[in-house]
């Protein structure tokens, strides 16, 4: 761990704004095999934004989704198809909760 200076504020950048991620990036940041990231794409858990290049590209938002998917897989012992379904249902639930809040 780095020694820390308490008084100096660290300037942080918004990761999602600048990030264009490759399979390798996601694999490194999430600490999983590249193969695993590829499986996420094949199952529709992660979306590739630029397919024209030789390499797949993801937006920074894919990081959050990948990590969420990994947590679900590990903690709930569900397979990839189950993770994909859970994520879709969670998206829908979030959407409905928002609608409900707007109308309330």
Partner 1 sequence: MEFKDYYKVMGVARDATDAQIKQAYRKLARKYHPDVSKEKDAEARFKEVGEAYEVLRSPEKRAAYDQLGQGHPPGQDFRPPPDWGAGFEFSGAGGGESAYSDFFESLFGSQGRAESSGSRDHHAKVLLDLDATLKGGTRQLTLRVPEIDAAGRLVTKERTLNVQVPKGILPGQHIRLAGQGARTAGAAAPGDLFIEVEFQPHPWYRIDGRDLYLELPVAPWEAALGAAVKTPTPGGTVDLKIPPASHAGTKLRLKGRGIPAAPPGDFYVILQIALPPAADDRAKAAYSAMAQALPFNPRANLGV
Read out DSSP for 57-73?
BEETHHHHHHHHHHHHH
Q: Is 8 in the site for partner 1 (CB under 8 A)?
A: yes
| Choice from 20, 81, 90, 96 touching partner 1 (CB under 8 A) | 90
| Choice from 64, 88, 91, 96 touching partner 1 (CB under 8 A) | 64
Minimum gap (Å) between residue 51 Cβ and partner 1:
24
> Which CB sits closer to partner 1, 12 or 51?
12
Q: Is 75 in the site for partner 1 (CB under 8 A)?
A: yes
Q: Is 24 in the site for partner 1 (CB under 8 A)?
A: no
Residues paired with 59 in a beta bridge = 20
Contacts 24+ apart (CB under 8 A), 30-37: 30/63, 30/66, 30/67, 30/70, 32/70, 36/70, 37/66
Least Cα distance to 65 among 26, 32, 28 occurs for: 26
Binding site for partner 1 (CB under 8 A): 1-2, 4, 6-17, 28-31, 60-61, 63-64, 67-68, 71-72, 74-77, 86, 90, 98, 101-103
């Amino acid at each position: 761990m780095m020694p820390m200076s308490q008084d100096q504020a660290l300037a942080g950048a918004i990761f999602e704004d600048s990030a264009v991620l490759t399979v390798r990036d996601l694999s490194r940041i999430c600490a999983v095999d590249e193969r695993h990231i590829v499986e996420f794409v094949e199952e529709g858990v992660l979306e590739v934004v630029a397919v024209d290049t030789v390499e797949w590209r993801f937006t920074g938002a894919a990081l959050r989704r990948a990590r969420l998917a990994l947590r679900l897989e590990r903690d709930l012992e569900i397979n990839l198809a189950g993770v994909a379904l859970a994520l879709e249902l969670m998206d829908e639930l979030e959407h409905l909760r928002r609608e409900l809040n707007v109308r309330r």
